[in-house]
Structure 1
Amino acid sequence: MQVLTRPWGAMHYRIDGPADGPVVVFANSLGTDLRLWDQLLDELPQIRAVRFDKRGHGLSDEGGDYGVDDLADDAAALIEHLGLGRVIFVGLSIGGMIAQNISARRPDLIRAAVLSNTAVKMGTQQSWSERIAAVRDAGLDSIADVIMQRWFAPTFRARPELAAWRNMVVRTSGNGYIAACHALANADLTATTRKLALPVTVIAGDQDGSSPAELVKATADLIPGATFHVIPDAGHLPCVEQPAAFAAILRNFLQDHSR
């Protein structure tokens, strides 16, 4: 296991793929760890994939209270620590907000960005406050079934592996999950994202109950030159539900922007 020591504690990360492959850094969604990308990487053996568990998720320490700026700083510190140069950055949901933030604040580190199932603003203060209260009162298990309905299309929810994704959510640190909810509630990246001046492609799922395709497209429309894709029969995690379709989009994007 590989760990980067940050001021807030241990940040777990993993590197896969050939040393001479194009470097792609992946940032996960709320309630998942770096295994989110396993199926996608099976489709992309040629890339040098760098994944990490953000604060309070997976094998990383909780890290206290934080905002999206702090999560982007963590990602930047990892890129610098590994001496990766300018990378392709792929982020999903809150990971997509990290991607927007680091692209705006550290363009010296980011060559191009892929924003999946994300937006400049996700949810409302009220919706996040209600979710935080539910987790504090009854734990993540109390909202896990609703999360599965929002995340996955009906065809995937009928598959046995749904149980593993539910378990991933339930076993996330409650404190870490709540801290990420606060970060999402306080984030509005409209002003900086509309000024992005790097290649960006944006991906949505046509059955996403957490970040509907029209919300994702509205963010794509803010970014000069950004391209937009909708993956059919996919919810909030298209890299899980439709990894081949997601990989095809990423493969084409890498051909254009990885060198």
Structure 2
Amino acid sequence: MNIADLEDIRLHYRIDGDPDGAPVVFANSLGTDMRLWDKVLARLPKTGLKYIRYDKRGHGLSECPKPPYGMGTLVRDVERLMDHLAIRDAVFVGLSIGGMIAQGLAAKRLDLVRAMVLSNTGARIATREIWAQRIADAERGGVVALADATMTRWFTPAFRATPEFTAWRNMLTRTPADGYIGCSHAIAGTDFYATTAALRLPTLGIAGSEDGSTPPDLVRETTELVPGSQFHLIRKAGHLPCVEAPDEYARVLNDFIIAQAH
């Protein structure tokens, strides 16, 4: 296990693939850890690319400070992690809050981000009122109080009928309440419409047709803020298409990476 000591936070990270390969950095969603990407990484090339994953603060095996967190803090965490690992010129793949982190990092440190993948995300996600209610529910009853509604937004009925679904529900409910609440504050306070519209870098948007958290129209609207961007819709998948449709997700991601001569 690798832990990066970044002074005020210790983050868990993992490196797979070719140690000398071009870097691809992955940022996962609220309520998940780096295992979100297991199926996709198993389907990506083993040579030529180096895959860097990490658990954001309050998630997985990283430290969990008291909330609230700001989006700027989450962006700074991965910025410092990439500096710590001497990672530059990466393709940055972010899903949900990870996609918000991607937008913020590209705006702040374009030297770190060669291209970005905005998966199941938005320049703004939901409303402050919605997040305030989720935060209040988590403060009262823990993350388990949000689990049933969240799973309905995240996964299709077909996937919820599989044994694997139990593992993803458990991953969510075992997320520390402070981590979930902290990151919820960050999402609630973020509006990247103007910031992302000013970006000029290769961008791919990926959406799931059945996503109840970040519907396809939101993902498309956000992606199209960046001139020359591409958009791909994965049908019969929800908020985590890398889990429900890993073959298609990996194929689309790999094609984008190759197009960057990365």
> Which TM-score bucket, shorter chain as reference?
over 0.9
Is residue 135–residue 178 contact of structure 1 (8 Å, CA) maintained in 2?
A: yes
Aligned residue for 2:224, secondary structure, equals helix
What CA deviation, in whole Å up to 9, does each residue of 1:198-233 have, x standing for no partner? 100000000000000011111112111110010011
Tell me the residue number matched to 1:24. 24
Greater Cα shift, 238-247 or 77-86? 77-86
The correspondence of residues 161-180 of structure 1 with structure 2, limited to 5 A, is 161-180=164-183
Task: Give how far 1:79 is off.
Answer: 1.1
The correspondence of residues 125-144 of structure 1 with structure 2, limited to 5 A, is 125-144=128-147
Task: Give how far 1:258 is off.
Answer: 4.3
Task: Give how far 1:94 is off.
Answer: 0.1
CA distance in structure 1 between the partners assigned to 2:8 and 2:120 by the alignment = 28
Aligned residue for 2:205, secondary structure, equals strand
Tell me, which stretches of 5 or more residues in structure 2 are unaligned?
none
2:123 aligns with one of 104, 120, 123: 120
The correspondence of residues 76-155 of structure 1 with structure 2, limited to 5 A, is 76-155=79-158
Tell me the residue number matched to 1:75. 78
Tell me, which stretches of 5 or more residues in structure 1 are unaligned?
none
Is residue 8–residue 63 contact of structure 1 (8 Å, CA) maintained in 2?
A: no
The question of 1:63 aligning with 2:62 is answered no
Is residue 88–residue 258 contact of structure 1 (8 Å, CA) maintained in 2?
A: no
Greater Cα shift, 59-68 or 72-81? 59-68
CA distance in structure 2 between the partners assigned to 1:85 and 1:34 by the alignment = 20
Task: Give how far 1:256 is off.
Answer: 1.1
CA distance in structure 2 between the partners assigned to 1:237 and 1:114 by the alignment = 14
Amino acid at match of 1:31: G
Task: Give how far 1:172 is off.
Answer: 0.4
Amino acid at match of 1:173: P
Task: Give how far 1:14 is off.
Answer: 0.5
Amino acid at match of 2:136: A
Identity of aligned residues (%): 51
Greater Cα shift, 60-69 or 245-254? 60-69
CA distance in structure 2 between the partners assigned to 1:72 and 1:12 by the alignment = 15
CA distance in structure 1 between the partners assigned to 2:189 and 2:245 by the alignment = 31
Aligned residue for 1:222, secondary structure, equals coil
TM-score where L is the length of structure 1: 0.97
RMSD, matched Cα = 1.0
